[in-house]
Amino acid sequence: MITGFFHEWFLIFDERSDDMIKRENNKIKIEGMDVFELVEKYDTPLYCYSEKAISKQMKTIHSVMDSLREFHLGFALKANNNIHLINYMVKNGTWIDIVNKNEYLLAREGGTPPEKIVVNGNGKTKAFIREMIEEGVFSINIDSKEEYEVIREILREMDSPQGLPAFMLRVNPDVDPHTHPYISTGLKENKFGVQMDTARAILLSDNGLITGLHTHIGSNIYDIGAYQEAFETLLDLKKDFSRLNFINIGGGWGIDYEKNGKHIDLDAYTEHVLPILKQFDCPVMMEIGRFILGPSGVLLSKVLYKKVTEFKTFVVCDANMANMIRPALYNAYHHVKPLHVNSSDDEITADIVGGLCETGDRIAVNRDIEDVSTGDLLAILDTGAYGYSMASNYNAESRPAEILISDDECRLIRKRETVKDLLKKMKV
Ligand code: LLP
């Protein structure tokens, strides 16, 4: 008989039909694949993604946004740059948002045609902008007055170029999305976009080059009011400039990291935000990262030690801040599930930590979890976005392997790094 916290937890584990990880016939499966066999084959730490989950997240977005006259779903490649995942999303109709040449090349390699690529970023070089114009991307989002001048200069130098991308102005509406300060991007003290008065001045002086607006107010947002405020601000601007015929609303939808039901409220979004978007009366694009891939990936890790001290219990595992930096960098919460075939109601409170040489190297702090011992597996949930893409080689760690599970097959989509990979770049 399981009681209290664990009783509820196991109900979630066993019965929530949309969960990526399920217990079935005394096995633990990720989308039908035996987790122990996966680990046997690919080792840990291991990033593991599910096509089914990606598809579900994409459908959820469409079910909210498709009542708009014309809607384009884009994926923010920074959330995860694996070309196989990009390919899956692009095949299913997604456009791609990129910020530099490498991201552009990965998007292309993943099968994205240039006309479905949107270029963002506040530090685009002149050479990069010129190249993106020549490549024929869908749009280039202008981050500043200074960048606007550079674009004008490029166009003069190019001497009547044909088939230009759409140029959109990134507006900073000065709205607080109430998220972590590092990932809030639409406040006036943030480095992104132009303030409203600058936006008006640019649009007044501009002779028709800019035909759309862009904004992105931050990431992991739960506050619907922030979106309302931001889009109303943009709507005011659009009403004054009739040539603006496209709006890119960025991304930012928050997900249920804590498994307590706190995620972006899509009913409230439909009720309060969509009516504003409808008033734009033009195509709307979104470039979203976390909401699509976050819940579609888990990081599997092995317990190395359970270290018990007078003050604390530490579960030392082979995931760490080099392969998953979000807890160290943003104090982010990721749910951690011990994967035991036979569940137990023994519970511990522990810090789940990596083996790297700083105290910030942790996955969870003071976390109540089912008791574990050496060799047990942990699933660190919601790590499909900003997990691998932010991994580093700190302490000369190898970046993990990545696998993708489709209906009934699983394939390696990125090899685990080796020390040879690291040395190759140093042997110069
Ligand atoms: N568009 C722009 C211009 C962005 O800068 C971003 C994310 C997105 C779209 C996608 O936002 P999303 O839908 O994924 O929230 N490393 C941080 C997140 C940084 C987000 C950066 N920009 C984290 O791990 O939480």
Q: Which residue's entry shows tokens 């948002």? A: 97
Bridge partners (DSSP) listed for residue 167: 140, 210
* Residue 356: Cβ within 10 Å count: 17
Q: What is the pLDDT of residue 13?
A: 47
Q: What is the pLDDT of residue 18?
A: 54
Task: Summarize pLDDT for 30-82 with one digit per residue, the tens.
Answer: 998 999 999 999 999 999 999 999 999 999 999 999 999 999 999 999 999 99
pLDDT band at 194 (very low <50, low <70, confident <90, very high): very high
Centroid of ligand 1 to alpha carbon of 181 (angstroms): 12
What's the first-to-final CA gap in the chain, in angstroms? 62
Please list the active-site residues: 357
Atom of ligand 1 nearest to the CA of 332: 25
More confident residue, 22 or 96: 96
Cβ(132) – ligand 1 distance below 6 Å: no
> CA of 10: how far to CAs of 3, 46, 61, 335, 377, in Å?
10, 23, 29, 14, 16
Cβ(73) – ligand 1 distance below 6 Å: no
Q: Give the chain's domain count.
A: 2
Q: Is residue 87 part of a domain?
A: yes
Q: Is residue 304 part of a domain?
A: yes
Q: What is the pLDDT of residue 342?
A: 84
Residue with CA nearest ligand 1 atom 19: 183
Centroid of ligand 1 to alpha carbon of 255 (angstroms): 13
340 CB-side CA count, 13 A: 18
Q: How many angstroms separate the CA atoms of 49 and 414, rounded?
A: 12
Whether residue 363 is found in the same domain as residue 242: no
Cβ(97) – ligand 1 distance below 6 Å: yes
Q: What is the pLDDT of residue 344?
A: 83
Whether residue 55 is found in the same domain as residue 188: yes
Find how far residue 24's CA is from the centre of its chain. Answer: 30
Cβ(250) – ligand 1 distance below 6 Å: yes
Q: Is residue 11 part of a domain?
A: no
Q: Is residue 1 part of a domain?
A: no
Cβ(386) – ligand 1 distance below 6 Å: yes
Whether residue 83 is found in the same domain as residue 43: no
What tokens were used for 382? 């919601």
Cβ(252) – ligand 1 distance below 6 Å: yes
Whether residue 37 is found in the same domain as residue 155: no
Average pLDDT over residues 386-391: 98
Task: Summarize pLDDT for 309-352 with one digit per residue, the tens.
Answer: 999 999 999 999 999 999 999 999 999 999 998 888 899 999 99
Q: What is the pLDDT of residue 254?
A: 98
Average pLDDT over residues 80-107: 98
Atom of ligand 1 nearest to the CA of 79: 14
pLDDT band at 24 (very low <50, low <70, confident <90, very high): confident
Whether residue 285 is found in the same domain as residue 347: no
Whether residue 163 is found in the same domain as residue 181: yes
Query: How many percent of the chain have pLDDT more than 70?
Result: 96
Centroid of ligand 1 to alpha carbon of 221 (angstroms): 10
Average pLDDT over residues 158-185: 93
Whether the pLDDT of residue 2 is over 80: the answer is: no
Q: Is residue 14 part of a domain?
A: no
Q: Using the 3D structure, point to which of 290, 308, 327 is the last residue of a domain.
A: 290
- Cβ–Cβ under 8 Å, residues 296 and 384: yes
Whether residue 193 is found in the same domain as residue 307: no
Cβ(289) – ligand 1 distance below 6 Å: yes
Q: Which of 118, 290, 291 to mutate to test the pocket of ligand 1 (most atoms within 8 A of CB)?
A: 290
Q: Domain containing 310: what range?
A: 21-50+294-426
Q: What is the pLDDT of residue 1?
A: 35
Bridge partners (DSSP) listed for residue 338: 378
- Strand 297-308 relative to strand 46-50, pairing: antiparallel
Q: What is the pLDDT of residue 295?
A: 98
Q: What is the pLDDT of residue 14?
A: 44
Q: Which of 60, 77, 219, 333 to mutate to test the pocket of ligand 1 (most atoms within 8 A of CB)?
A: 219
Instruction: Give me the phi and psi of 239, to 5 degrees please.
Output: -60, -30
Q: Is residue 249 part of a domain?
A: yes
Task: Summarize pLDDT for 113-145 with one digit per residue, the tens.
Answer: 999 999 999 999 999 999 999 999 999 999 999
Whether residue 312 is found in the same domain as residue 234: no
Mean predicted lDDT score pLDDT of the chain: 94
CATH number of the domain that residue 404 is part of: 2.40.37.10
Centroid of ligand 1 to alpha carbon of 184 (angstroms): 9
Q: Using the 3D structure, point to which of 269, 290, 311 is the last residue of a domain.
A: 290
Cβ(233) – ligand 1 distance below 6 Å: no
Length of the chain: 428
Q: What is the pLDDT of residue 15?
A: 41
Cβ(186) – ligand 1 distance below 6 Å: no
CATH number of the domain that residue 240 is part of: 3.20.20.10
- Cβ–Cβ under 8 Å, residues 368 and 351: no
Q: Which of 413, 400, 324, 310 is nearest to 361 (CA)?
A: 324
Whether residue 234 is found in the same domain as residue 266: yes
Average pLDDT over residues 244-269: 97
Whether the pLDDT of residue 6 is over 50: the answer is: no
Task: Summarize pLDDT for 399-428 with one digit per residue, the tens.
Answer: 999 999 998 799 999 999 999 999 999 999
Q: What is the pLDDT of residue 304?
A: 98
Whether residue 190 is found in the same domain as residue 338: no
Q: Is residue 241 part of a domain?
A: yes
Q: Is residue 402 part of a domain?
A: yes
Whether residue 260 is found in the same domain as residue 313: no
Q: Using the 3D structure, point to which of 267, 290, 313 is the last residue of a domain.
A: 290
Whether residue 256 is found in the same domain as residue 319: no
Residue with CA nearest ligand 1 atom 23: 386
Q: What is the pLDDT of residue 408?
A: 75
